[in-house]
Amino acid sequence: MAFEANFDGLVGLTHNYGGLSIGNLASTAHASAISRPKEGALQGLAKAKMLADLGLVQGLFPPHQRPHLPSLRAVGFSGSDKDVLAAAWKADPALVRAAGSSAQMWAANAATVSPSTDCADGRLHFTPANLMTMAHRALEASQTEASLWAIFANSDHFAVHHALPYQSLFADEGAANHMRLCRAHGEPGVEIFVWGRNGFGRQHTAFPARQTIQTGQAIARRHGLEAGRTLHVQQSVKAIEAGAFHNDVVAVASLNVLFCHEHAFEDRLGTHEAIKRACDGLMEAVIVEVPEAEVPLSDAIKSYLFNTQLLELPGEDRLVLIAPEECRENRPTHRYLQKLVASNGPIGRVMFVDVRQSMRNGGGPACLRLRVVMDDAQRDALGARAVLDDALYQDLSTWIERHYRDTLGPDDLADPNLMLEGQVALDELTDLMHLGSDFYPFQREALLRTW
């Protein structure tokens, strides 16, 4: 029996507001604000626990080592870890800000995932995203790949690829630009890759279009997807210019339902048509489109109406939307949601969650999770201790309480104690999550030193 699991990225110890993502309005608006890492990590964990308590399989990805010293060493800083940090800060604080970002918490960008039923070899395929458009995110892929290898450790069931080549032609932001429609999770689906630019052409947007059509085509080939059930559709230029830096800011799909804004796609009617055609014979695709007249694009982006988790919950006959609190506070969005659940449509209930620490960097509930459709045999084949149960929840809560700082200001990233606190905490986490003692670069360096 197949089901959809969600793997959330644990918020890291350096969660901060670096103002690093041009085109992501929340990131720019909160640049240099004081962040609250402990609160952020507990908010993310509480959301994960809520979904586990609702009866879903909920996993977690460990945070990455930050600041990412291998990147600073690669650009010419040397000596002890403290020397590297101090010299990099002195040379250019922006380098340390990029190397200190905790952006790996947005697991929707970790990888693109294709369930076994869609893939020619019958395995569940992952392509870690190279995230090469943003310097602070391009550091993530190798550690993401290590996490995927640790958790999806069985090659009879899982295929974990390398990230695509690090070139603009294959700019990849993972599942944030990928949707899947199906009648039931275990049945063949239609995979939809959303792109913002043609990698061989010119960039037509002022804000970066972070994904190319060539990326989706390459992933579809690697995963062995069937051409007739794979679509490549263009995100609207208007949406990118308004601050929708990923498709998941203007659209979300679950089962046979696509919930999207009127301005989500460049060729609105053509895209709807193509989706219906591809789904023909497999399911009846239902498109719930929110008109600009009811929720203007700017409100949808502010409230993150579409960066919601659209879920099939045990015992409920209609889908449930997990939305950020901001959707309750934004007038047009809240009005629309009330109307939506009162209608006889496929979405029957909205639950609100507080993920404000993440939202201030442009990360809503859906950004924080990577969806993985799997079956019972695949669940049994998972490695590490990554699926949330009461015991893991307790252990992680205690770990966060003990190691995370309450607040971080922009210059705290230069503090060598923050770096050391992170290494102590992550070393303990590898034990707690059964990830091995050579999981992070700092652990491998320490091992080498003992030889």
What does the binding site for ligand SUG look like in residue numbers (CB under 6 A)? 16-21, 24, 27, 101, 103, 106, 108-109, 134, 137, 176, 245-246, 248-249, 361-363, 367
334 is catalytic: no
Q: Which amino acid is at 102?
A: S
Is 61 in a helix, a strand, or coil?
strand
**103: annotated binding-site residue?**
no
Q: Using the 8-state DSSP alphabet, how is residue 189 labeled? A: -
- Give the integer Cα–Cα distance in Å for 191 and 115: 10
Residues 6+ apart with CB under 8 A from 413: 14, 16, 67, 89, 93, 96, 97, 100
Residue 395 CB, shortest distance to ligand SUG, in Å, is: 27
Nearer to ligand SUG, 112 or 443 (CB): 112
CB atoms within 10 A of CB 274: 17
User: Among the options 68, 157, 246, 403, which is catalytic?
Assistant: 246
**Could you tell me the two tokens for 314?**
């045990």
Is 449 among the annotated ligand-binding positions?
no
The tokens describing 183, both together, are 């009648």
**405 labeled part of a ligand binding site:** no
Q: How far is the CB of 232 from ligand SUG (least distance, A)?
A: 19
> Rounded to the nearest whole angstrom, what is the least distance from the CB of residue 16 to ligand SUG in the complex?
6
Minimum gap (Å) between residue 234 Cβ and ligand SUG: 18
**Shortest spacing between CB 244 and ligand SUG, in angstroms:** 9
Out of 173, 262, 266, 326, which one is annotated catalytic?
A: 173
173 is a catalytic site residue: yes
Comparing CB distances to ligand SUG, the nearer of 128 and 430 is 128
Is the Cβ of residue 20 or residue 48 nearer to ligand SUG in the bound state? 20
Nearer to ligand SUG, 57 or 135 (CB): 135
22 is in an annotated binding site: yes
Q: How far apart are CA 285 and CA 304, in angstroms?
A: 23
- Residue pointed to by tokens 């997990």: 322
Which C-beta is closer to ligand SUG: that of 175 or that of 320? 175
Question: H-helix or E-strand containing 353?
Answer: strand 347-353
Residue 346 CB contacts under 8 Å (≥ 6 apart), including other chains: 257, 286, 288, 318, 319
Among all residues, which ones are annotated catalytic? 173, 246, 367
Binding residues: 18-27, 109, 136-137, 210, 248, 361
Binding residues for substrate: 18-27, 109, 136-137, 210, 248, 361
